Amino acid sequence: MLGTVASNLALTLGASGGCISAAASFRALSIISNPPVPQTVFENKKAALTPYLASIPVYVVLSKFPGLIGSAVALDNHLQGLGGE
């Protein structure tokens, strides 16, 4: 279901630069499968648009705590005066 939502959103927004998923289910499936399940699920939902969807890369965040890492980087940037404010 997540692949369907992601592919619909990519088509709606014209996301040719890629789709990033931080969902734990995608992370688990991408580690244990070959070819990667997230890319396969993402591509196979719209038969007529499969070539277009196949050209959109799907990135899977493998970190268990991406929010904490991003927060640490944002805090570090802010403390160094790089936060833009």
**54-65 residue pLDDT tens:** 888 888 787 888
Question: What pLDDT is recorded for position 40?
Answer: 65
Question: What pLDDT is recorded for position 59?
Answer: 81
CA 22 to CA 78: how far, in whole Å?
24
> Where would I find the H helices in the chain?
2-13, 24-32, 37-43, 50-54, 66-79
Q: Is the pLDDT of residue 44 over 70?
A: no
Q: Is the pLDDT of residue 84 over 60?
A: no
Question: What pLDDT is recorded for position 23?
Answer: 72
pTM for this entry: 0.58
